[in-house]
Amino acid sequence: MSEIKNRNFIEEIIEEDIRNNKHNGRIHTRFPPEPNGYLHLGHAKSICLNFGLAQQYNGKTNLRFDDTNPAAEDVEYVDAIKEDIHWLGFDWEDREYYASDYFQQLYEYAIQLIRAGLAYVDDSSAEEISKMRGIPTSPGSLSPFRNRSIEENLELFEGMKNGKDKEGERVLRAKLDMSSPNMHLRDPIMYRILFSSHHRTGTKWCIYPTYDFAHGQSDSIEGITHSICTLEFENHRPLYNWFIENLEIFPSRQIEFARLNLEYTLMSKRKLLQLVNEKMVDGWDDPRMPTISAIRRRGITPEALREFATAVGIARRENVIELSKFDNIVRANLNKIAIRTMAVLDPLRITINNYPHEIEWMEVENNPEDPETGKRNIPFSKEIFIEREDFMEEPVKDFFRLSPGNIVRLKAAYIIRCEQVIKHEDGSIHQLICSYITNSRSGSDTSGLKPKSVIHWVEANHCITATVRLYDKLFSVPDPANYENVHSILNKDSFQELTNAKLESKMKSADPGTRYQFMRKGYFYLDKNSTHENLIFNRTITLKDSFGK
């Protein structure tokens, strides 16, 4: 199989390494989230890539929390991240690591570089350091502290570690190249002082390594062979390699790919946190969010998410994926598995005045895509509900559903004709009186009538009442990342709650293991806050693209 499949460039690198018996053909990747927010779709892409490659090449994947910035990190995020990865269908077995587990080792690496004359303590302020760094087109200037003796550097660095200095007073920098056109090589900072309690190491440390000094070394400590990250780290790669070479540690290799961008979707934890903090959404798992937890709550399956991650492929250049690509994969997946049911979201009562029976049972399929799910019988009587929008008192052109004097077919039941409209005092429609065509029963119709539309309905005395929540895109523009002020681009109509939806009585026992299709209305999933007394369904997605209608 693998012969005919087109390999992406990362697979090519890995296969070449295997051919050359690099690291004895061993493949070891890692997924390195910073626990400063919930995982989003972009992370899902990275998870599927890292765990997927390991599965494909018989390797392993570590979960490593990149927890070097105590100010923004929290155990709540650690727990949520683990839950999300498991839900997606991947497992790191016993390889759950934390960059903070390596603080002692990293400290010793720093001393090793000081001893080699490759790192120095700088007393300059952050502003001074930034000024001395200069601009890419001309060399920066050397810090007056750059030529401190090794002994002095060792002593000062120990002092930093022991809490002798205040935050911002001193940093440890790598002695590299202040004239490099790559700004990351202009004596990058390795350690800064932070008197912040860490969620794992408490107050043991008051110096913390920067991303650049922690990430590559953590890869190396874990024997990671292929360290896959997103393109913004391309310019960090020479530094990644410089630390590994000068420390003479395991040569992990960094490989960059383009991050996943999706239309109408923000993929920055910082901005998602702002949405949560400023209550623009109802928490990290608000179904409009692009987080894995929100996607789960909405009712999307892990299979669909994995399929999407594979379908978008691996690119070397930034691109933006159309939202329809995501939606179509979700729909195709749900179409196969969802149990069909009729539900009227905005009910309009109908009395069928010539219907003679107390009740009849109509047979309907549970899922035409999956005959094994069988059929069920639903009740029909003279009292039913239809969708308010399926009736128009004065039908516009091309409206072929119910209107005065006209006929429509009720799915799996009879053809009815609207005889009379009964109104409230304020002129709004209270209910309809209809008649039914006696010999028009679905499956044995001999009426010869051909209504132009089929609509769904629910029998009024057996049905149950539930709440349904409908969602639309959170943003009104396709490129929300380009706007600093998210308030100005929120879609005001992204959420709608209907509390009087009428559902088939079997939905009383709806369960969160099942995806439902409410015929003509979309795919629905039980919300996490739903109770037996107060059923709440989230619409996962509409049946077909209704955006822009």
Choices 29-37, 84-92, 165-173, 246-254 (CB under 6 A): range interacting with ligand ATP: 29-37
**Helix locations, 192-322, DSSP H:** 211-221, 237-247, 269-277, 292-298, 302-311
Q: Cβ distance 189 to 173 under 8 Å?
A: yes
Residue 257, token pair as written in the block: 């790919």
Q: Cβ distance 534 to 521 under 8 Å?
A: no
The entry of ligand ATP, Mg ion, none that residue 246 binds, CB within 5 to 8 Å by partner kind: none
Choices 91-99, 141-149, 262-270, 538-546 (CB under 6 A): range interacting with ligand ATP: 262-270
3-state secondary structure of 140: coil
Identity of the residue, 34 or 177, whose beta carbon is nearer to Mg ion in the bound complex: 34
Identity of the residue, 45 or 417, whose beta carbon is nearer to ligand ATP in the bound complex: 45
Identity of the residue, 165 or 219, whose beta carbon is nearer to ligand ATP in the bound complex: 219
Residue 224, token pair as written in the block: 């990671």
Q: Is 269 a catalytic site residue? A: yes
The entry of Mg ion, ligand ATP, none that residue 230 binds, CB within 5 to 8 Å by partner kind: ligand ATP
Q: Cβ distance 536 to 469 under 8 Å?
A: yes
User: Cβ 76 to Mg ion, closest distance in Å?
Assistant: 17
Q: Cβ distance 525 to 537 under 8 Å?
A: yes
Residue nearest to Mg ion (CB): 34
Q: Which of these is catalytic: 200, 269, 417, 521?
A: 269
- Residue 490 is given by DSSP the state B
User: Cβ 32 to Mg ion, closest distance in Å?
Assistant: 9
Task: Give the list of residues 6+ apart from residue 215 with CB closer than 8 angstroms, or none.
Answer: 32, 66, 99, 227, 240
216 makes contact with ligand ATP (CB under 6 A): no
Q: Measured between alpha carbons, how far is 291 from 55 in angstroms, rounded to an integer?
A: 24
Q: Which of these is catalytic: 11, 34, 83, 307?
A: 34
Q: Residues 275, 279, 280, CA angle at the centre, nearest 5°?
A: 55
Identity of the residue, 34 or 346, whose beta carbon is nearer to Mg ion in the bound complex: 34
User: Cβ 266 to Mg ion, closest distance in Å?
Assistant: 15
Q: What is the H or E stretch that residue 49 is in? A: helix 41-56
Identity of the residue, 35 or 287, whose beta carbon is nearer to Mg ion in the bound complex: 35
Q: Cβ distance 238 to 182 under 8 Å?
A: yes
User: Cβ 167 to ligand ATP, closest distance in Å?
Assistant: 23
Helices (H) and strands (E) in the chain, counts: 12, 25
Of 259, 325, 462, 469, the one binding ligand ATP (CB under 6 A) is 259
247 makes contact with ligand ATP (CB under 6 A): no
Q: Measured between alpha carbons, how far is 282 from 495 in angstroms, rounded to an integer?
A: 11
267 makes contact with ligand ATP (CB under 6 A): yes
Give the CA count within 13 Å in the CB-facing half-sphere of 293: 16
Identity of the residue, 266 or 408, whose beta carbon is nearer to ligand ATP in the bound complex: 266
Q: Which of these is catalytic: 259, 340, 388, 506?
A: 259
CA distances from 162 to 205, 206, 392, 424 (A): 8, 8, 78, 79
Of 269, 298, 331, 473, the one binding ligand ATP (CB under 6 A) is 269
The entry of ligand ATP, Mg ion, none that residue 539 binds, CB within 5 to 8 Å by partner kind: none
Of 28, 43, 192, 515, the one binding ligand ATP (CB under 6 A) is 43
383 makes contact with Mg ion (CB under 5 A): no
Q: Is 372 a catalytic site residue? A: no
237 makes contact with ligand ATP (CB under 6 A): no
Q: How many residues at the interface with Mg ion, by CB under 5 A? A: 1
Q: Is 423 a catalytic site residue? A: no
Of 23, 28, 32, 60, the one binding ligand ATP (CB under 6 A) is 32
User: Cβ 31 to Mg ion, closest distance in Å?
Assistant: 12
Q: Measured between alpha carbons, how far is 414 from 16 in angstroms, rounded to an integer?
A: 66
Q: Cβ distance 71 to 38 under 8 Å?
A: no
Of 8, 112, 197, 230, the one binding ligand ATP (CB under 6 A) is 230
Q: Cβ distance 70 to 205 under 8 Å?
A: no
The entry of ligand ATP, Mg ion, none that residue 33 binds, CB within 5 to 8 Å by partner kind: ligand ATP
Of 14, 42, 102, 140, the one binding ligand ATP (CB under 6 A) is 42
Scanning residues 15 to 34, which ones bind Mg ion (CB under 5 A)?
Answer: 34
- Residue 405 is given by DSSP the state T
Q: How many residues at the interface with ligand ATP, by CB under 6 A? A: 15
Total residues belonging to the chain: 549
Q: Measured between alpha carbons, how far is 382 from 459 in angstroms, rounded to an integer?
A: 8
User: Cβ 327 to Mg ion, closest distance in Å?
Assistant: 28
Identity of the residue, 88 or 334, whose beta carbon is nearer to ligand ATP in the bound complex: 88
User: Cβ 321 to ligand ATP, closest distance in Å?
Assistant: 10
Identity of the residue, 173 or 269, whose beta carbon is nearer to Mg ion in the bound complex: 269
User: Cβ 33 to ligand ATP, closest distance in Å?
Assistant: 4
Choices 11-19, 264-272, 316-324, 366-374 (CB under 6 A): range interacting with ligand ATP: 264-272
Residue nearest to ligand ATP (CB): 42
350 burial via Cβ count (<10 Å: 0-12, 13-18, 19+): buried
Task: Give the list of residues 6+ apart from residue 229 with CB closer than 8 angstroms, or none.
Answer: 254, 255, 256, 257
The entry of ligand ATP, Mg ion, none that residue 267 binds, CB within 5 to 8 Å by partner kind: ligand ATP
Q: Cβ distance 394 to 473 under 8 Å?
A: no
Instruction: Map tokens 């001074």 to a residue.
Output: 128
Residue 331, token pair as written in the block: 């729909």
The entry of ligand ATP, Mg ion, none that residue 290 binds, CB within 5 to 8 Å by partner kind: none
Side chain identity at residue 467, one-letter code = T
Q: Measured between alpha carbons, how far is 160 from 190 in angstroms, rounded to an integer?
A: 13
Q: Which residues are catalytic?
A: 34, 259, 269
Site residues (vs Mg ion, CB under 5 A): 34
Site residues (vs ligand ATP, CB under 6 A): 32-34, 42-43, 45-46, 66, 229-230, 259-260, 267-269
